[in-house]
Amino acid sequence: MPRIICVAGARPNFMKVKPVMDALEARGAEVVLVHTGQHYDAAMNDVFFADLGLRPPDRHLGTGSGTHAEQTARVMTAFEPLVDELRPDAVVVVGDVTSTLSCALVAAKAGVPVAHVEAGLRSRDWAMPEEINRVVTDRLSELLFAPSPDGVDNLRAEGYHDDQIHLAGNVMIDTLYANLDRALASDILHRYELTPGGYALATLHRPANVDDPGMLGALLTALGEVAQELPVILPVHPRTAARLELAGLPGGIRLVPPAGYLDFIALQASARLVLTDSGGIQEETTALGVPCLTMRDSTERPITVTEGTNTLVGRDPARIVGTARQVLASPPAKRAPALWDGHAGDRIADTLLSYLAAPVRLRPTDLRETVVGS
Ligand code: UD1
Q: Pick 3-170+340-373's CATH classification: 1.20.210.10, 3.40.50.1970, 3.40.50.2000, 3.40.50.1820.
A: 3.40.50.2000
Whether 237 is a known active-site residue: answer no
Cα of 286 vs centre of ligand 1, distance in Å, is 24
Sign of CA dihedral 307, 310, 316, 322: positive
For ligand 1, whether the C-beta of 12 sits within 6 Å is: yes
Task: Look at ligand 1, atom 3, and give the residue with the nearest C-alpha.
Answer: 97
- Atom 26 of ligand 1, residue of closest alpha carbon: 239
The mean pLDDT value for 269-298 works out to 97
pLDDT at 368: 63
**With a 6 A CB cut-off, is 130 part of the ligand 1 pocket?**
yes
Q: How far is CA 169 from CA 31, 268, 306, 320, 347, in A?
A: 21, 21, 16, 30, 8
For 184-206, what is each residue's pLDDT tens digit? Answer: 999 999 999 999 999 999 999 99
State the closest ligand 1 atom to the C-alpha of 238, by its place in the atom list counted from 1: 22
Report whether pLDDT(374) > 50.
no
In the chain, pLDDT over 90 holds for what percent of residues? 88
Q: Do 3-170+340-373 and 180-329 share a fold?
A: yes
Phi, psi of 267 (to 5 degrees): -65, -40
In the predicted structure, residue 86 carries a pLDDT above the cut 50: yes
Query: What distance in angstroms lies between residue 207's CA and the mean position of ligand 1's atoms?
Result: 10
Q: Please list the alpha-helical segments (H only) found in 250-298.
A: 261-269, 280-288
Residue 356 pLDDT exceeds 80: yes
Predicted TM-score of the model (pTM): 0.95
Pairwise CA distance, residues 219 & 282, whole Å? 18
Beta strands in the chain (DSSP E): 3-8, 30-35, 59-60, 90-94, 114-117, 143-146, 165-167, 200-202, 232-235, 253-256, 273-276, 292-294, 310-312
Residue 332 pLDDT > 80: no
Q: What is the mean pLDDT of the segment spanning 16-28?
A: 98
Atom of ligand 1 nearest to the CA of 43: 23
Dihedral sign for Cα 344, 128, 327, 263, please. positive
Is pLDDT above 80 for 22?
yes
Q: Is the pLDDT of residue 129 over 50?
A: yes
CATH code assigned to 180-329: 3.40.50.2000
pLDDT digits (tens, 9 = 90+) for 209-251: 999 999 999 999 999 999 999 999 999 987 788 788 778 888 8
* Cα–Cα distance, 324 to 311 (Å, whole number): 10
Average per-residue pLDDT in the chain? 94
CA of 239 to the centre of ligand 1 (A): 7
Question: Exposed, middle or buried by CB within 10 Å (0-12, 13-18, 19+), for 124?
Answer: exposed
Ligand 1: distance of its center to the CA of 65 in Å? 7
Residue nearest to atom 13 of ligand 1 (CA): 10
Residue 234 main-chain phi, psi, to 5 deg: -125, 95
Phi, psi of 55 (to 5 degrees): -70, 160
The pLDDT-based confidence of 331 (bands split at 50, 70, 90) is confident
The sheet carrying 90-94 orders its strands as 59-60, 30-35, 3-8, 90-94, 114-117, 143-146, 165-167
Q: Is 22 in the pocket of ligand 1 (CB under 6 A)?
A: no
Domain boundaries, the chain: 3-170+340-373, 180-329
Question: Catalytic one among 166, 205, 237, 343?
Answer: 205
Closest CA to 79 of 38, 48, 47: 38
Reduce the DSSP state of residue 3 to 3 states and report it: strand
Average of per-residue pLDDT across 164-177: 98
Beta-ladder partners of 276: 294
